[in-house]
Amino acid sequence: MPELPEVESLRRGLEEFVVGQRVRNVEVLLGKIVSGRGTKRTNDESKVKNFCAKISGKKILSITRRAKNMMINLERGGMLLVHLKMTGQLVYKSNKDNSTVSGGHPIQLSDNKLPNKHTYIIFTLEDGVLYYNDVRQFGYVLYFDSIEEINKLGHFDDLGWEPLDEGFTLAAFTEKMKSKKGILKKLLLDQKVVVGLGNIYADEVCYEAGVRPDRKVETLSKKEIQKLYNSIIRIIPRAIELGGSSVADYLLADGSRGNYAHEHKVYKRGGKKCFKCGRELNKSEVAGRTTVYCGFDQK
């Protein structure tokens, strides 16, 4: 489940390998991935044709990110908007040496041939191949002629603060939380408030802050809001630094696994011992999501 740290790690890795390369060829193996967002997508042949035609021959200028969206910026203003949703992967494999990518990091794909049955887009670049894989097919890779075209969709309109941006201050966060009601975890998962948290980091943030994820926001003290804020701005960069969380269907740009999973304190640890007090961690459903917290250390 790529959340912000995973997307940012992938962005940084890919940037290093593919920026400056020209796209030689594009092959789309599942049309719906490139034909829209949401649940009403279809395999639209004309959209697929347009997608390939617009991208082929263009040089990759940069890769940027907004929330969990990645933008692969092409020549003449064109760009790809990539959302991995839950199981999307972008894997770059260098032609120069099948076992390595630039930078010398080993690519751990020897027993994981590409393309595989979940490969839906193949971008052939000058020095390698970029694969889009997506087991559950919820993600998308869309082409736009300009950022204005994306903005027209209102795609980014409702996104809240980037947790790493200067605008995300304690004062602003506090004010926002004070204006809200409802379940804390729901607010943390709400991309309209702060972007980038998903089910893993929402639980991790609550644990580190010592606040139960099922607390009502309106009952939070100023100090608790501050703890939550501090946890967000500490955990997100730390996770990026470690290359994101390793989950079963997520790989880094170089094919390796992220290392943040080793630091998960609660995610996937329901029933296991709390690292602080040794008591059994509580697993339940909060805001419609599987949630793990310590009933003793989190108030």
Applying CB under 7 A, does 181 fall inside the site for DNA? yes
Binding mask 80-99 for DNA (x = CB under 7 A): ---x-xx-------------
Applying CB under 7 A, does 111 fall inside the site for DNA? no
Applying CB under 7 A, does 136 fall inside the site for DNA? yes
List the beta bridge partners of residue 278: none
Rounded to whole angstroms, the Cα distance separating 133 from 20 reads: 23
The answer to whether 3 is a known catalytic residue is yes
Classify each residue of 153-166 as buried b or exposed e, where b means 16 or more C-beta atoms within 10 Å of its C-beta: eebeeebbbbbeee
- Residue in 33, 67, 205, 251 binding DNA, rule: CB under 7 A: 67
Q: Which of 74, 68, 81, 91 is nearest to 5 (CA)?
A: 68
The answer to whether 68 is a known catalytic residue is yes
**Position of tokens 């296991």?**
272
Selected catalytic residue, list 11, 58, 68, 186:
68
Number of Cβ within 10 Å of residue 231's Cβ equals 19
- Residue in 219, 223, 248, 278 binding DNA, rule: CB under 7 A: 248
The answer to whether 6 is a known catalytic residue is no
Q: Whose Cβ is closer to DNA: residue 101's or residue 292's?
A: 292
Applying CB under 7 A, does 198 fall inside the site for DNA? yes
Applying CB under 7 A, does 151 fall inside the site for DNA? no
- Residue in 45, 263, 290, 299 binding DNA, rule: CB under 7 A: 290
Task: Quote the tokens at residue 278.
Answer: 């040794």
Nearby residues of 79 by Cβ (< 8 Å), 6 or more positions away: 71, 72, 73, 143, 144, 146, 147, 150
Task: Quote the tokens at residue 174.
Answer: 């506090």
Task: Quote the tokens at residue 268.
Answer: 């996937």
Applying CB under 7 A, does 57 fall inside the site for DNA? no
Q: Whose Cβ is closer to DNA: residue 54's or residue 83's?
A: 83
- Paired sense of beta strands 23-28 and 119-125, if any: antiparallel
Active site residues: 2-3, 68, 289
The binding site for DNA (CB under 7 A) comprises: 1-3, 32, 37-39, 67-68, 83, 85-86, 117-118, 135-138, 155, 158, 180-183, 186, 189, 191, 198-200, 248, 268, 285, 287-290
